[in-house]
């Protein structure tokens, strides 16, 4: 379940919004509790989407990275290893 182009764009837009908003907040400007909660919920939404992508890759054995490449090579050489 790879992320679609639209999902990637949405994550990027949300991350940019959070970045800009948090810069303002962390400079010491006052922010309402409801706006701070909105920031937290948006960050949680990004996190949830990325974790779903990781779980999907794990479920379908489509992990990415040099560690998984080495593990696959090792498993090919030693099939009994799990």
Give pTM, 2 decimals.
Answer: 0.66
User: What's the pLDDT at 14?
Assistant: 93
Q: Where are the domains of the chain?
A: 5-77
User: What's the pLDDT at 23?
Assistant: 87
User: What's the pLDDT at 10?
Assistant: 92
Among left, alpha and beta (phi > 0; psi -120 to 50; other), residue 2 is beta
Burial (CB count within 10 angstroms: exposed 0-12, middle 13-18, buried 19+), residue 22: middle
Residue 65 DSSP class: S
Task: Say how far apart CA 25 and CA 7 lie, in whole Å.
Answer: 26
pLDDT < 50 stretches in the chain = none
Distance of CA 62 to the CA centre of its chain: 16
pLDDT in tens, 62-74: 777 777 778 778 8
User: What's the pLDDT at 18?
Assistant: 92
User: What's the pLDDT at 1?
Assistant: 59
């Amino acid at each position: 379940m790879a992320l679609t182009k639209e999902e990637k764009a949405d994550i990027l837009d949300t991350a940019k919004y959070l970045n800009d908003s948090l810069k303002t907040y962390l400079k010491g400007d006052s922010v309402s509790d409801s706006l701070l909660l909105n920031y937290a919920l948006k960050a949680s939404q990004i996190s949830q989407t990325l974790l779903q992508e990781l779980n999907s890759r794990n479920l379908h054995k489509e992990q990415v990275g040099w560690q998984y490449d080495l593990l696959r090579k090792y498993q090919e050489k030693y099939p009994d290893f799990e």
